[in-house]
Amino acid sequence: MIRRRIRERHQYLYSKSVEASQRALFEKKRRIRAALEEGNPIPTELRNEEHELRRQIDLEDQEPRGPNGALHSANRRDLVIFLGAEGRLSHVTENEPWRPDLILVHEHRGKPDGLIVSHLPNGPTAYFGLLNVVTRHDIKGRKAMGKMSEAYPHLVLDNFSTQIGERTATILKHLFPMPKPDSKRIITFANRDEYISFRHHVYEKPGGPRSMDLKEVGPRFEMRLYQIKLGTVE
């Protein structure tokens, strides 16, 4: 137990040192950019690093920064699932009062294939692969759905009984605020054979309290956990 705590402490300190180094590098490049754009001299303390910093800036400017258009559009519609989420290409959250989780979606050729959930400010961070992604746009009958409700959803977490399953369920459930009792949204995470099926439904009771009409509103996908690590995403 003592060795484990020492190891976790070392990992935490290492992740913090990496984060501090990245912040310092970002600030240096920001100052170089500002000087070049405004036509001012390069700050004296950065002149020894100017060549390497400008090389990195040039490489970053050559790489596409935004996601594929289809993915970005899908994220704008579907991120409302995670209440409080905002689909922005660059956004500073350090000074905001309630931003407990960072959610990153990775895509390949316009299709989402990975999801990273990083709990701020100290972690943990979970890495998932995404399969069989069907966006809300592709769900049949979407025109009859209307605007997606922004009410906080009830959660169904099925078959997360192992130690790693309980850890995963804890990470997932903290993505969502506490719902009101009358909320008609239901989010389901069902664990089957190491794959987690995600489903999103709304329900109505057209015939009174004993009747229920369940309708899938999307998106829909399968998740496969492949790593949980201490600390935040690098």
**CATH class, range 74-229:** alpha beta
pLDDT at 41 over 70: yes
The pLDDT tens digits of the residues spanning 110-131 come to 788 889 999 888 889 999 999 9
pLDDT band at 227 (very low <50, low <70, confident <90, very high): very high
Q: Tokens 């303390």: give the residue.
A: 45
CB 175 within 8 A of CB 166: no
pLDDT at 65 over 70: no
Buried b (16+ CB within 10 A) or exposed e, 70-94: ebeebbebbbbbbeebebeeeeeee
DSSP E strands in the chain: the ranges are 101-108, 111-119, 125-134, 154-158, 185-192, 195-204, 213-216, 220-229
With DSSP H G I counted as helix, E B as strand and the rest as coil, what are the percentages for the chain, rounded to 5?
Answer: 35, 25, 35
pLDDT at 79 over 60: no
Query: pLDDT higher for 188 or 33?
Result: 188
The whole-number pLDDT of residue 98 equals 46
Contacts of 220 (CB under 8 A, 6+ apart): 132, 133, 134, 139, 198, 199, 200
pLDDT at 88 over 50: no
Helix (H/G/I), strand (E/B), else coil: 126: strand
Residue of 177, 181, 195, 186 whose CA lies nearest to 155: 186
Query: pLDDT higher for 58 or 51?
Result: 51
Average pLDDT over residues 186-205: 92
For the chain, percent of residues with pLDDT exceeding 90: 24
Q: Which one-letter amino acid corresponds to residue 171?
A: I
pLDDT band at 144 (very low <50, low <70, confident <90, very high): low
pLDDT at 101 over 90: no
Average pLDDT over residues 214-233: 89
The whole-number pLDDT of residue 158 equals 96
Mean of the per-residue pLDDT values of the chain? 78
The whole-number pLDDT of residue 91 equals 42
Which residues on adjacent β-strands are paired with residue 215?
202
Measured between alpha carbons, how far is residue 57 from residues 20, 31, 47, 50 in Å? Answer: 19, 11, 15, 10
- For residue 213, how far is the Cα from the chain centroid? 31
- For residue 156, how far is the Cα from the chain centroid? 20
Whether the bond into 124 is cis, omega within 30 of 0: yes
Q: Is 216 left (phi over 0), alpha (psi -120 to 50) or beta?
A: beta
pLDDT band at 93 (very low <50, low <70, confident <90, very high): very low
Average pLDDT over residues 83-93: 45
- What is the Cα–Cα distance from 212 to 206, expressed in whole angstroms? 7
pLDDT at 64 over 60: no
pLDDT at 96 over 50: no
Among 2-16, 65-79, 127-141, top mean pLDDT goes to 127-141
